[in-house]
Amino acid sequence: MGEHTYALITNGVVQQLLTTEQDISALFAPGLRWVLVANPTGSYPGCLYDGTNFTAPIPPNASASTVTLAELQEEIVTLQRAIAAFAAAQ
């Protein structure tokens, strides 16, 4: 039979790769989705799988990670004031 590489797919994302000579359907529960990988170097955990092709994941939005510590601390103070005002109104 020879070795084959399979990708475990959950919600369109590669969770892990497995290379085996065994029948993949006999190794795991039938509910798991294992897909034969033609080019193991082109897929890796975190890759996206659309049912046909493996693609690199979309990088997170860079602008979302530009929040500074000072901005977060300011948000905390604002929330603490809102909580105190809410508690006082009760």
Query: Could you state, in order of their start, the residue ranges of all structural domains in the chain?
Result: 4-89
**What are the pLDDT digits (tens) for 19-58?**
999 988 889 988 899 999 988 777 889 999 999 999 988 7
On whether the CB atoms of residues 17 and 44 are closer than 8 A, the answer is yes
Over residues 49-78, the mean pLDDT reads 80
The overall average pLDDT reported for the chain is 85
- pTM (two decimals): 0.61
pLDDT value, residue 1: 63
pLDDT of residue 63: 53
Please list, in sequence order, all residues whose beta carbon lies within 8 angstroms of the beta carbon of residue 5, skipping any fewer than 6 positions away: 17, 18, 19, 36, 37, 40
Taking residues 66-84, report their average pLDDT. Answer: 84
Q: Are 8 and 33 in contact (CB under 8 A)?
A: yes
Q: How confident is the model at residue 75 (pLDDT cuts 50, 70, 90)?
A: confident
The DSSP secondary structure of 27-78, one letter per residue, reads: HS-TTSEEEEES-GGG--TT-EE-SS-EEPPPPPPGGGG---HHHHHHHHHH
pLDDT for residue 16:
93
Q: For residue 9, what are the β-bridge partners?
A: 14, 33
